[in-house]
Structure 1
Amino acid sequence: MAPKVLISDKISPAAVQIFKDRGVDVTYEPDLGKDKEKLAAVIGQYDGLAIRSATKATDKIIAAATNLKVIGRAGIGVDNVDIPAATAKGIIVMNTPFGNSITTAEHAIAMMFALARELPAADASTQAGKWEKNRFMGVEITAKTLGVIGCGNIGSIVAERGIGLKMKVIAFDPFLSPERAREMGVEKVELDELLARADFITLHTPLTDKTKNILSAESLAKTKKGVRIINCARGGLVDEVALRAALDSGHVAGAAFDVFVTEPATENVLFGHPNVIATPHLGASTNEAQENVALQVAEQMADYLVRGAITNAINFPSISAEEAPRLKPFVELAEKLGSFAGQLTETGLKGIRIEYEGAVADMNTRALTSAAVAGVLRPMLSDVNMVSAPAVARERGIAIEEVRREASANYESAIKLVIQTEKQSRSVTGTVFADGKPRIIEIKGISIDAEFGASMLYVTNTDQPGYIGALGSTLGQAGVNIATFNLGRTSPGGDAIAIVQVDGPIANDVVEKVKALPQVKQAKALTF
Structure 2
Amino acid sequence: MKILANDGLDQSGIDALTQKGFEVITTKVPQEFLVDYINENKIRTLLVRSATQVRKDIIDNCPSLGIIGRGGVGMDNIDVDYARSKGIHVINTPSASSASVAELVFAHLFSGARFLEDANRKMPQVGDTEFASLKKAYAGGIELRGKTIGIIGMGRIGQEVARIALGLGMRVIAADNNVGRASIKVKFYNNQFINVDIETEPLQDVLKHSDFITLHVPAQKDGYIIGKKELEVMKDGVAVVNCSRGGVIDEEALIEALDSGKVRFAGLDVFINEPTPSKAILNHPKISLTPHTGASTLEAQDRIGLSLADQIASILQIH
Range of TM-score over shorter length: 0.7 to 0.9
1:43 aligns with 2:48: no
Amino acid at match of 2:4: L
Give the number of equivalent residue pairs: 303
Give the match's secondary structure for 1:80.
Answer: coil
The partner residue of 2:308 within 297, 303, 307 is 297
Separation in 2, partners of 1:179, 1:71 = 31
Give the match's secondary structure for 2:33.
Answer: helix
Give the match's secondary structure for 1:133.
Answer: helix
Separation in 1, partners of 2:282, 2:3 = 42
Structure with higher RCO (Cα < 8 A, 6+ apart):
2
Give the match's secondary structure for 2:229.
Answer: helix
Equivalent in the alignment of 2:5: 7
Give the match's secondary structure for 1:47.
Answer: strand
Identity within the alignment, %: 36
Q: Within 5 Å, which residues of 2 pair with 1:10-159?
A: 10-24=8-22, 26-31=23-28, 33-34=29-30, 36-37=32-33, 39-43=35-39, 45-130=42-127, 131=131, 132-136=134-138, 137-159=140-162
Give the match's secondary structure for 2:63.
Answer: coil
Q: Is the 8 A contact 2:182 2:198 kept in 1?
A: no
The partner residue of 1:161 within 151, 161, 164 is 164
Equivalent in the alignment of 1:399: none
Instruction: Give 5+ residue unaligned stretches, structure 2.
Output: 186-194
Q: Within 5 Å, which residues of 2 pair with 1:120-519?
A: 120-130=117-127, 131=131, 132-136=134-138, 137-178=140-181, 180=183, 183-186=195-198, 188-208=200-220, 212-307=223-318
Equivalent in the alignment of 1:343: none
Offset of residue 262 of structure 1? 1.7
Q: Is the 8 A contact 1:16 1:28 kept in 2?
A: no
Name the stretch that deviates more: 72-81 or 257-266.
72-81
Q: Is the 8 A contact 1:226 1:253 kept in 2?
A: yes
Offset of residue 243 of structure 1? 1.4
Amino acid at match of 1:177: G
Q: Do the aligned partners of residues 218 and 295 (structure 1) sit closer, same or farther apart at CA in structure 2, a change above 3 Å counting? A: same
Separation in 2, partners of 1:124, 1:207 = 31
Offset of residue 84 of structure 1? 4.7
Q: Do the aligned partners of residues 187 and 168 (structure 1) sit closer, same or farther apart at CA in structure 2, a change above 3 Å counting? A: farther
Offset of residue 229 of structure 1? 0.8
Separation in 1, partners of 2:276, 2:210 = 28
Offset of residue 230 of structure 1? 0.8
Give the match's secondary structure for 2:265.
Answer: strand
Separation in 2, partners of 1:276, 1:29 = 35
Offset of residue 63 of structure 1? 3.2
Instruction: Give 5+ residue unaligned stretches, structure 1.
Output: 310-528
Q: Do the aligned partners of residues 82 and 168 (structure 1) sit closer, same or farther apart at CA in structure 2, a change above 3 Å counting? A: closer
Offset of residue 114 of structure 1? 0.5
Separation in 1, partners of 2:47, 2:301 = 14
Q: Is the 8 A contact 1:53 1:80 kept in 2?
A: yes
Q: Do the aligned partners of residues 27 and 285 (structure 1) sit closer, same or farther apart at CA in structure 2, a change above 3 Å counting? A: closer
Q: Deviations over 1:118-155 (max 9, x none)?
A: 11211222222421111112111111111111122111
Q: Is the 8 A contact 2:74 2:218 kept in 1?
A: no
Give the match's secondary structure for 1:76.
Answer: coil
Give the match's secondary structure for 2:68.
Answer: strand
Q: Is the 8 A contact 1:227 1:253 kept in 2?
A: yes
Q: Which has the higher strand share?
A: 1
Q: Is the 8 A contact 2:181 2:197 kept in 1?
A: no
Separation in 1, partners of 2:219, 2:4 = 31
Q: Do the aligned partners of residues 242 and 41 (structure 1) sit closer, same or farther apart at CA in structure 2, a change above 3 Å counting? A: closer
Q: Deviations over 1:12-39 (max 9, x none)?
A: 2222222222233x142332x2253265
Q: Do the aligned partners of residues 59 and 246 (structure 1) sit closer, same or farther apart at CA in structure 2, a change above 3 Å counting? A: same
Separation in 1, partners of 2:306, 2:31 = 25
Q: Is the 8 A contact 1:103 1:289 kept in 2?
A: yes
Offset of residue 269 of structure 1? 4.1
Offset of residue 169 of structure 1? 1.4
Separation in 1, partners of 2:11, 2:181 = 44
TM-score between both structures, scaled by the size of structure 2: 0.86
Separation in 2, partners of 1:204, 1:102 = 13
Give the match's secondary structure for 1:53.
Answer: coil
